[in-house]
Amino acid sequence: MKIGLFGGTFNPPHLGHVEAASQAVKALNLDKLLIVPDALPPHKDLPEGSPDDAGRLRMSELAFEKVKHAKVSDMEIRRGGRSYTVDTLRRLREKYPGDKLFLLMGTDMLLCFEEWREFREILSLAALAVFGRGAQDMPAIQRAAANLREKYGANIEVLDIRVREASSTDIRSLLRERKGRELLPEPVYAEIIRHRWYGARPEFEWLRQKAYAMLEPKRVAHVKGCEEEAVRLALRWGADVERAREAAILHDITKKEKLPEQLRLCEKYGILLDDMEREEGKLLHSKTGAGIAKYEFGCDDEVYGAIFWHTTGKEDMALLEKVIYMADYIEPNRDFDGVEELRRLAYVDLDRALELGFSMSIEDMRSRGIVPHARTLGALCYISKG
């Protein structure tokens, strides 16, 4: 049996890793490829903001799940401490005494191979299978391989495969700038955003795609309008524009769900409800939407609060909460008596616009025989005294 070993921090695993693994399986005709995230790399610590071992293991499982014959192993993570390839190969040789082992590595690893711990023993335990990032790497690979063969009798397979240039270090930096998604498998990117590892922030276009897919088609125009209005209001009143975008894009993601599903989501996310809310699903989408925004999209508490309160409002609202409440109310697609005055006032005196908005909502509900929620009444009373 031919068994490949592909190790690394995989922090995060990117498409270059996946392409290398997939093509190596074919080029070497492997029966099994072990993907082995290390516990701690030999010569450095994991950077701040990195996921824990379980998180890196999970990302690796997501990244390589479609690579034929690939299996993610936690053997180095379970062993703990600094991860040295020689120790892993010793274990594999014990487990697979009669099989051929291949150690996969890229150009940089080959060029510094003689600096590895007990590299001569590594050469006795496995053949090296080396791949480059393009034709420009081949001369360096061939020279290094020839040197190792001549000096140590190394068994080296130079793979005629090309993988995209990608660096986990660069990707971590890009993620903080809402970039880098195209370098990652989609499930890995989603998992990173969910936990906001590395200080990652979602690309807005990706966030829109996810949010719009959760909406009734007719509601997409409203959400787009709400985002536009939220940005304008945030700029006018000094709120965080990027948080305003996140909150506006996600604010209605559970709007289409009926009461049973809303109640299930409330239970899932530990959202406490009053008697009125348990009977009225329309009051819950802001709360359940906030839950998904926080726990599935990694939004912070400020964005969570802005989504959570955008339906009823509350006393003493934070600035972003006011911005999202008002953007939802006056976005360009809205058309009702009094909306133009509300739009004008929103850019002159935000609190007075909220006061008028609460009053209009309460009046509208009462005209339709609906009892306003106590929090909306409290919000009106609070802001009227301000």
pLDDT value at 351 more than 80: yes
With a threshold of 0.85, does the pTM exceed it? yes
Instruction: Kindly state whether residues 68 and 26 are assigned to the same domain.
Output: yes
158 in any annotated domain:
yes
Beta-carbon contacts of residue 12 (< 8 Å; ≥ 6 apart): 56, 59, 63, 168, 171, 172, 184, 188, 192, 197, 198
Show which of 132, 159, 187 is a domain's final residue. Answer: 187
Q: Based on the fold, state whether residues 159 and 213 are members of the same structural domain.
A: no
Average pLDDT, the chain: 94
Using CA atoms, how far apart are residues 240 and 233, in angstroms rounded to an integer?
10
* 134 shares its domain with 269: no
Which structural domain range is residue 29 located in? 2-187
Quick: pLDDT tens for 308-331: 999 999 999 999 999 999 999 999
Q: Which two tokens stand for residue 345?
A: 């006032």
Indicate the helix (H) or strand (E) that contains 105: strand 100-105
Same domain, residue pair 215 and 162: no
Domain check: are 163 and 236 in the same one? no
The reply to whether 214 and 81 lie within a common domain is: no
Judge if 311 and 282 occupy the same domain: yes
Q: Is there a domain that residue 198 lies in? A: no
Judge whether 277 lies within some domain: yes
Helix (H) or strand (E) segment spanning residue 261: helix 259-268
Is 149 in the same domain as 293? no
Q: What is the CATH number of the domain that holds 12?
A: 3.40.50.620
Do 208 and 153 lie in a common domain? no
Q: Write down the pLDDT at residue 286.
A: 97
Alpha-helix residue ranges (DSSP H) falling in 269-373: 275-279, 285-295, 301-308, 319-330, 339-346, 350-367
φ and ψ at 8, to 5 degrees? 160, 175
Report d(CA 330, CA 342) in Å as an integer: 7
Least confident of 118-122, 279-283, 369-373: 279-283
| Cβ-contact 298, 193 below 8 angstroms | yes
Residues 210 and 181 in one domain: no
DSSP at 217: G
User: What total number of domains does the chain contain?
Assistant: 2
Residue after which a domain boundary falls, among 155, 187, 219: 187
d(CA 102, CA 100): 7
Rounded distance, CA 230 to CA 242, Å? 10
Please write the tens of the pLDDT for every residue from 139-164.
999 999 999 999 999 999 999 888 88
> Which residues are CB-contacts of 135 (< 8 A; sequence separation ≥ 6)?
162
Give the model's confidence band at 42: pLDDT under 50 very low, under 70 low, under 90 confident, else very high: low
Q: What is the CATH number of the domain that holds 217?
A: 1.10.3210.10
pLDDT digits over 51-105, tens only?
999 999 999 999 999 999 999 999 999 988 888 999 999 999 999 999 999 999 9
Nearest 5°: the CA angle 209, 48, 45 is 125
144 and 231, same domain (yes or no): no
What is the percentage of the chain residues whose pLDDT exceeds 70?
A: 99
Task: Average the pLDDT over 347-357 and give the result.
Answer: 97
Q: Is residue 257 part of a domain?
A: yes
Indicate whether 264 and 330 sit together in one domain.
Answer: yes
Number of neighbours of residue 120 by Cβ within 10 angstroms: 14
